[in-house]
Amino acid sequence: MLTTTFTRTLLLGAAALCTMAGSAVAAESLNIYTTREPGLIKPVLDEFTKETGIKVNTIFISNGLEERIRTEGENSPADLILTVDIGRLQAAKDYGVTQPVKSEALENVIPAAYRDPEGHWFGMALRARVVYASKDRVKQDKFTYEELADPKWKGKICSRSGQALYNISLFAAAIAHMGEDKAEQWLKGVKANLARKPSGGDREQAKDILAGVCDIGIGNTYYVSLMRNGSDAEQKKWGEAINVILPTFEGGGTHVNVSGLALAKYAPHKANAVKFMEYMVSDESQRIHAEANSEYPIKAGIAIHPTIASFGELKADNVPIAEIAKLRKKASEMVDTVGFDQ
């Protein structure tokens, strides 16, 4: 009987140790749900794992990320949400699938204009919505967003859908600057200047400029770097055919958007998730991210990708991203009201 009891005790102890060891291993991991192609963030993830020993698992979800996490509920393995555009970050908060983070490391680096006032999301990098201009046919090197509605550009502007996330944020910024009525008149003017029905992505706007379909387009900065520095010979031609002009709002600056992070509501590895968020604003991470993704670092003093830097000094607009998020619904309705995509 004594031998049997002793054996059972040993077995129970071994089982407990195995359970604890398994828990420790599980704790050294991190699950990121992302709308970004994992390859774009792999350099940062690899460096984080190298520094911390925490294994990062990425789950790529192009659409419906918020719905999936909400459906998974308390059983969701998601620790972090990594996505682009304030619309997606705010949607995650509105869906109730995030939780606030209080971190001096984040708040000391990220300007208040680029994070949620309640701590539900944080911008990690910036991208500007700018003018692509034909090198051959457009001689001016300065623009205001208001000028896009000037009749002198009638039949000369290309754009992707007005309902595209990046355009909705730009139009929301226009509402913030002009007021709803003037912004609607402005958007009607931009529509009147379109050379064709809105279509394609930002790269296609550069393609059509090269083809002579239009003289100017609306697009994000990083696409130009990806075209010029990528391996696709055709896209390289598109990127080289345009100048990038950083427009400003009258009385404001260049519209910027963010790529950012939010802590999932039921994050099973919360400590690791916060550690990753704080790592993302370190000098090394900001440098790697800026180089790999051709985005503006959120942290001051970090070198900008050479192609992006060649566009000139970015004077970012002063409207907080959270305020733009509140106006996105009105902007979307306005796109339909003026028939922008028709």
Q: Which CATH superfamily is domain 28-126+257-303 in?
A: Periplasmic binding protein-like II (3.40.190.10)
In the predicted model, what is the mean pLDDT of residues 36-41?
83
pLDDT value at 94 more than 50: yes
User: 0.75 cut: is pTM over it?
Assistant: yes
In the predicted model, what is the mean pLDDT of residues 210-236?
97
Supply the pLDDT for residue 2: 38
256-306 residue pLDDT tens: 999 999 999 999 999 999 999 999 999 999 999 999 999 999 999 999 999
DSSP 194: B
Left (φ > 0), alpha (ψ -120 to 50) or beta: where does 123 sit? beta
The per-residue DSSP string of 261-322 comes to EEEETT-TTHHHHHHHHHHTTSHHHHHHHHHHH--EESSTTPPPPHHHHTT----B-SS-HH
Q: How would you class 53 by CB atoms within 10 Å of its CB: exposed for 0-12, middle for 13-18, buried for 19 or more?
A: exposed
CATH 3.40.190.10 in the chain, residues? 28-126+257-303, 127-255+314-337
pLDDT value at 315 more than 60: yes
What φ, ψ does residue 58 adopt, rounded to 5°? Answer: -110, 135
The per-residue DSSP string of 23-79 comes to HHHHHTEEEEEESS-HHHHHHHHHHHHHHH--EEEEEE-SS-HHHHHHHHGGG----
3-38 residue pLDDT tens: 434 334 333 333 333 333 343 344 589 999 999 887
Q: Which CATH architecture has domain 127-255+314-337?
A: 3-Layer(aba) Sandwich (3.40)
pLDDT value at 239 more than 70: yes
How far is 59 from 198, CA to CA, in rounded Å?
31
Supply the pLDDT for residue 5: 40
pLDDT value at 335 more than 60: yes
The CA–CA distances, whole Å, from 226 to 18, 19, 28, 40 equal 48, 47, 34, 11
Do 157 and 193 contact (CB within 8 A), yes or no?
yes
* Contacts of 36 by beta carbon, 8 Å cutoff, 6+ apart: 60, 82, 83, 84, 259
Supply the pLDDT for residue 27: 52
CB atoms within 10 A of CB 264: 24
